[in-house]
């Protein structure tokens, strides 16, 4: 039972750390601080993100990617930070 609790605690810590890293990546890419990534901001911060990947991540098709869309795209593998 202690091993299960320890494993769950470790998993929660890792998930939290990854989420924090994703948030930090988003915030550093959001150069103008408007809470959205433009295609230009995303391309400059993450050169591996193609125009097609950006369009796929833009779920509401407003021409920008918000933090929720960014996190969803990372989780789905639509975009990668490398």
Domain ranges, ordered by start, for the chain? 21-82
Residue 79 above 80 pLDDT?
yes
In angstroms, the CA 6 to CA 38 distance is 41
For the segment 10-21, what is each residue's pLDDT rounded down to a tens digit?
Answer: 344 334 434 777
Residue 2 above 80 pLDDT?
no
Supply the pTM of this predicted model. 0.75
In angstroms, the CA 50 to CA 42 distance is 9
* Cβ-contact 73, 79 below 8 angstroms: yes
21-82, CATH topology level? Recoverin; domain 1 (1.10.238)
Residue 62 above 70 pLDDT?
yes
């Amino acid at each position: 039972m202690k091993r299960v609790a320890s494993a769950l605690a470790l998993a929660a810590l890792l998930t939290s750390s990854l989420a924090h890293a994703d948030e930090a990546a988003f915030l550093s890419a959001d150069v103008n601080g408007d809470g959205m990534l433009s295609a230009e901001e995303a391309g400059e911060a993450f050169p591996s993100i193609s125009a097609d990947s950006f369009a796929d991540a833009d779920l509401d098709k407003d021409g920008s990617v918000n933090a929720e869309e960014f996190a969803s795209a990372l989780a789905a593998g639509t975009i990668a930070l490398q």
